[in-house]
Structures are given as structure tokens and as C-alpha cells.
Amino acid sequence: MPDHAMTTAPTISRVAIIGGGPAGLMAAEVLSQGGVLVDVYDAMPSVGRKFLLAGKGGMNITHSEPYVDFVGRYGARQDAVAQWLAQFDAPAVRAWIHALGVDTFVGSSGRVFPTAMKAAPLLRAWLHRLREAGVQFHMRHRWLGWDGAALRFATPDGQRSVEADAVILALGGGSWARLGSDGAWVPLLQEKSVAVAPLQPSNCGFDTDWSAHFSERHAGEPLTTVAISWKDAQGVLQKRQGQFVVTATGVEGSLIYALSATLRDQIGAHGSTTIWLDLLPDLSAERVLDEVTRPRGARSMSSHLQSRLGIKGVKSGLLRECLTAAQFADTDSLASALKMLPLVLRRARPIDEAISSAGGVRFDAIDPASAMLRALPGVFVAGEMIDWEAPTGGYLLTACFASGRAAGRGALDWLLTGRGR
């Protein structure tokens, strides 16, 4: 049942939603169900472009893990995000998708996907339902800020001013500028005394400053059986197994992305940070030492490692890259490095390369009950432009959906109480 099925706002109410991503579209759904005239404005030629890109390799829509674990994925912002999820959690996301006529399934990792593994059918069904509900879409409208009380847009036909009874901003963060999330809204809100935390890359890769030889030889090669140890915010050593890829400048991939917030913040605080690679996570340190110290006869150490432990290719290259010649020649040091190879990360990759971004409108600048900006009555915010972040795995999309519903409800309640008049 719609959130406000029993009460609707006066039909003369009109809400402008700026941003046609998941958060903005979800806000449009709530408002249109509440009897409000909804106009969605987006700078791109069509809506949902980043949503479609995210679904190219398989549309991971949410995650099936228990709620306590799920909400913990939002780290320092989990209490704030939990307020959104209390009204629209992962099971609600699946039910909503099913109501659009799209089936889902749970993968082996617990991630939830549409059966077709694509975003396009879901987006088409969603947009059809929104248009049927009267939502109007205005493409190639780049928001420029305010002209008095009116919204100002740049369009192919020149500048245009629009008045609305309420506004929802769902402009995304700062990653993938070519798809519309360029962070251009930051100074527009700062000019209105809205507190904004600096935008930073999240779910991103890192630079290590490889040697030219290593980069040319191994860029693009995956590490499919590896674990990473790192120190958390309390200085406690943690470890996780997974996969990542060596790039021309450093490392990226799912295991790196999962740690990116911590690693990014450590680099910000100290100028660099160190992770430790376990190149043989399925073998004990004792077994590795035993194999390394076995007599090798006339074979080189590299041939010995390949024969006894399967160390070759990029793993062999990493040992040569990260160890001195003396360390490589010393069997105790070499065996230790195979289980705990130090790798210094120098910097996060640029924000426009990141899957998502951190930073944005601070939570203390928002009324938590309504998602309205304290400095701008009648203006609500949703999605990735708020200061939260999450790992990949369906957590980003779920929170964007939930925050969009929260903003839509907040705007509808504000109109119903007459505060927009």
C-alpha cells in the first residue's frame, strides 16, 4: 500500500525533484501516490544513467543478510541510515521490485539480483509506472541554483525559472561526472549556509607507485586467491580474503573496495597507509616456511617457489617489487613475506573513477524526521549527495531508495500540514 494512501496533498501542490537517479525517482513515486504534481529535472538526456551502468555487469539490487549485519555496513552513519531503512529495508526493496513485475533471486554470496541480471527492464517498468501516475520528466535541465524563490535551470533553449511548492534535491555525489554526478551542487548549497562535508572517493582503487617494469608487465592481472590484512581505526589488525586486480598505478577490485573507506581515511591522516598481502591464504605460515626452506638444488628461488607453492606471474612479481634483493634471498624473510607482504598505498584514485563517493550534505544540516534542510525550509535532500557511504553489494542502492522515500514522505507531510503555504 502507498505510504500515504489514506491522505493526499492538495492537487495544486507541485514538487520539483532535481536528479533522476534511484533516490529522485523513489521520491517521485511517493509524492505522485500522495496526489502531488511531480516534475523531475535532470541534466542528462535520460534518467537513471548511473543506475543502468551499475547494472551492466549484473544488477545487484540489495543484500539478503540479517538486518543487524546489513545496517552495520554503513559504518559511522549506520544510526542515521537506519532511520531510512526502518521504513524501506532490503525485504521491502525486493517486494517493491516484484510489484513492478520483475523477479529476483539470491546469489551464493547473499546478494540479490533481478532474474534477468539487468537494470534496463526494471528501470523501464518503473518509469512506465511513474508516467502513468502523472510524473513529468524534463531532460537536459541543469540546475544552476535559485533566482529568488524560483529554481533556475540551463536548458538547450536557454535559462528557465521554475517555481514549486517544495523541492527535493537528489543530485548524487561526485563520482562518474559524465553520467551527471559531478558535485556541481556543492557551492550552490554552501552559498545558502548548508554545511557540506568535502566529497571524497569511495569504493575506489589506490595508487602504489609501482616501478615501470612491474606496471608494464603485470597491469590488469587479477589476484584471485589472496587475503589482505590491515589496521582498523583502533589500530587492531584485521584480515579478509577475496580478490583484486593490479592496475597500472596500483590496486583495485572488490576486496580493495570493501576496505576503501578505512584506507582512504588513513591516507588522509598519515599521508600513506600499509596493507599486508597473504599470497597463500589457504596454507599455514608453518607449511609455507617448510616449503620455502626445502632443498632446491640448482633451481633458482623463483623456480623453487613455483614448483613448491605455485607462486608465479603477478604473485612472483609482487615479491620482487616489494622486497629487497636481500629479503628475497633470505628464506625466513621470504616465507614471512609470502604470508604478510607489505604494500604501501600512497593515494586514492580520483573521485571521478570511484564507484561512489563519501561526503556531502552533513546530517546535522538535515532534519532527521523529514530530510529537510534546516537552512532551507521546503527543500529536501536524498541519496548519495548526503554524507554517508557503503560498500558495494546492494547497500548503496538500498540506502538511495530508502532515502528517496524518506524525502518524499517528508515533503508530502510538509505540504499536508500547510507549511509549504
> What's the domain count of the chain?
2
Residue that the C-alpha cell 531508495 belongs to: 401
Is residue 237 a part of any domain in this protein?
yes
Is residue 2 a part of any domain in this protein?
no
Q: Which of 288, 317, 348 is the last residue of a domain?
A: 348
Mean pLDDT of 306-319: 96
Mean pLDDT of 356-378: 96
Full domain range(s) for residue 399: 14-201+358-416
Predicted pLDDT at 234: 87
> How are strands ordered across the β-sheet holding 104-106?
62-63, 111-114, 104-106
Give tens-digit pLDDT for 130-164: 999 999 999 999 999 999 999 999 999 999 999 99
Q: Which of 298, 324, 348 is the last residue of a domain?
A: 348
Residue that the C-alpha cell 552513519 belongs to: 77
Residues 332 and 251 in one domain: yes
Q: How far apart are CA 60 and CA 309, in angstroms?
A: 36
Mean pLDDT of 167-172: 97
Residues 174 and 313 in one domain: no
Residues 261 and 372 in one domain: no
Is residue 223 a part of any domain in this protein?
yes
Residue that the C-alpha cell 538526456 belongs to: 45
Is residue 104 a part of any domain in this protein?
yes
Q: Is the pLDDT of residue 22 over 70?
A: yes
Residues 285 and 311 in one domain: yes
**Which of 416 and 195 is assigned the larger pLDDT?**
195
Is residue 8 a part of any domain in this protein?
no
Residues 247 and 128 in one domain: no
Q: Which domain CATH number covers 59?
A: 3.50.50.60
Residues 238 and 337 in one domain: yes
Cβ-based neighbours of 397, under 8 Å, separated by 6 or more = 22, 51, 54, 60, 61, 62, 93
Q: Is the pLDDT of residue 125 over 60?
A: yes
Q: How confident is the model at residue 58 (pLDDT cuts 50, 70, 90)?
A: confident
Q: Is the pLDDT of residue 9 over 80?
A: no
Q: State the DSSP string of 174-215.
A: SS-GGGT---THHHHHHTTT--EEEEEEES--EE----HHHH
Q: Is the pLDDT of residue 421 over 80?
A: no
Residues 192 and 212 in one domain: no
Give tens-digit pLDDT for 286-304: 999 999 999 988 899 999 9
Residues 399 and 292 in one domain: no
Predicted pLDDT at 405: 98
Residues 46 and 184 in one domain: yes
Q: Which of 348, 372, 395 is the last residue of a domain?
A: 348
Is residue 5 a part of any domain in this protein?
no
Give tens-digit pLDDT for 228-238: 999 988 889 99
Mean pLDDT of 399-408: 98
Q: How confident is the model at residue 179 (pLDDT cuts 50, 70, 90)?
A: confident
Predicted pLDDT at 4: 45
Is residue 136 a part of any domain in this protein?
yes
Q: How confident is the model at residue 419 (pLDDT cuts 50, 70, 90)?
A: low
Q: What is the mean pLDDT of the chain?
A: 94
Residues 39 and 158 in one domain: yes
Residues 281 and 305 in one domain: yes
Is residue 140 a part of any domain in this protein?
yes
Q: How far apart are CA 174 and CA 181, in angstroms?
A: 5
Residues 21 and 69 in one domain: yes
